[in-house]
């Protein structure tokens, strides 16, 4: 059985730290897997990622470009892997389009829904970890680390909108596990392990 696991959260909520942990967990259980990311995960997708993270554009263009990258990723990486019994751990997926382009930038939900139905009508993640943290704390975690990209430079109003939509999605879909990212890494990894134990049992 191949699993499709996605990892979400506002920038700075700590998802990167835990992606490797999730992969190590699957490796230890001898579950073949691939760790990938969006936007990106393919040669074309990584080129689109450069534009998406650094160039200003209309939010409609941005949303369609996220889905163009996603289509390439689905067709060339995600679907072939799942068919070959290889699990996918994806650093962000369509939930991020709702959270960032709708919640952050205000595009109509129906615009994203239409693209979702067009690009992956029959595929949803089996499990989604949502790392949740208040935007001010999240921002202070990233701001002294590195040069910030276009999204990371957004205001706390933007990130409050992103967070709100993520939490609404989590309420609406049982595939979500919301993790309070203000906990210690050990506490969080215990929660992740427990959830993965349930998934793969
Ligand atoms: P991120 O996943 O945070 O990577 P890193 O940890 O290397 O900075 O960066 C991707 C950014 O793209 C993030 O700010 C969220 C944004 N994004 C969207 O706005 N919409 C989407 O559909 C996706 C997948 C990502």
pLDDT digits (tens, 9 = 90+) for 63-98: 999 999 999 999 999 999 999 999 999 999 999 999
Q: Sort residue 173 into left (φ over 0), alpha (ψ -120 to 50) or beta.
A: beta
Residues 6+ apart with CB under 8 A from 111: 60, 63
For atom 6 of ligand 1, the residue with the nearest CA is 16
In the structure encoding, which two tokens stand for residue 134, read together?
């208040």
- Compute, in angstroms, the gap from residue 201 CA to the centroid of ligand 1: 31
Task: Give buried/exposed letters for 101-132 (b at 16+ CB in 10 A, else e).
Answer: bbbbbebeeebbeebbeebbeeeebebbbbbb
Q: Which residue has the higher pLDDT, 14 or 25?
A: 25
From 2-6, 149-153, 161-165, the region with the lowest mean pLDDT: 149-153
Q: Sort residue 55 into left (φ over 0), alpha (ψ -120 to 50) or beta.
A: beta
The band of 201, judged by pLDDT with boundaries at 50, 70 and 90, is confident
Average pLDDT over residues 169-192: 98
| Ligand 1 atom with the shortest distance to the CA of 70 | 24
Residues forming beta bridges with residue 127, ordered by sequence position: 5
- Compute, in angstroms, the gap from residue 7 CA to the centroid of ligand 1: 11
CATH of the domain at 82: 3.40.50.300
Ligand 1 pocket mutation, candidates 141, 149, 150, 166, criterion most atoms within 8 A of CB: 149
Residues 6+ apart with CB under 8 A from 193: 25
pLDDT value of position 142? 86
Closest CA to 183 of 124, 137, 120, 114: 137
Q: Which residue has the higher pLDDT, 144 or 156?
A: 156
Give me the percent of the chain exceeding a pLDDT of 70. 100
Q: How many domains does the chain have?
A: 1
pLDDT value of position 80? 98
- What φ, ψ does residue 25 adopt, rounded to 5°? -60, -50
pLDDT value of position 198? 97
In the structure encoding, which two tokens stand for residue 198, read together?
């349930």
The band of 145, judged by pLDDT with boundaries at 50, 70 and 90, is low
Mean pLDDT value across the chain: 96
pLDDT at 59 over 90: yes
Task: Please give the residue range of the domain that contains residue 62.
Answer: 4-200
3-state secondary structure (DSSP) of residue 176? strand
Average pLDDT over residues 136-158: 88
Average pLDDT over residues 127-140: 95
In the structure encoding, which two tokens stand for residue 161, read together?
């909108």
Chain-centroid distance, C-alpha 73: 14
């Amino acid at each position: 059985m191949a699993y499709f696991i996605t990892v979400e959260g506002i920038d700075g909520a700590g998802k990167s730290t835990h992606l490797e942990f999730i992969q190590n967990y699957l490796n230890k259980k001898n579950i073949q897997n691939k760790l990938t990311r969006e936007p990106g995960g393919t040669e074309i997708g990584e080129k689109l990622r450069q534009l998406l993270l650094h160039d200003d554009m209309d939010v409609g263009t941005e949303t369609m470009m996220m889905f163009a990258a996603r289509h390439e990723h689905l067709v060339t990486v995600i679907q072939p892997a799942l068919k070959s019994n290889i699990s996918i751990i994806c650093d962000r997926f369509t939930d991020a389009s709702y959270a960032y382009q709708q919640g952050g930038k205000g595009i109509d939900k129906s615009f994203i829904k239409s693209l979702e139905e067009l690009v992956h009508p029959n595929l949803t993640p089996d499990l989604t970890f949502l790392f949740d943290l208040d935007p001010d704390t999240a921002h202070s975690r990233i701001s002294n680390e590195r040069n910030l990209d276009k999204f990371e430079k957004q205001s706390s109003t933007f990130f409050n909108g992103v967070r709100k939509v993520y939490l609404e999605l989590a309420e609406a879909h049982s595939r979500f596990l919301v993790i309070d990212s203000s906990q210690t890494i050990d506490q969080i990894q215990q929660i992740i392990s427990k959830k993965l134990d349930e998934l793969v049992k």
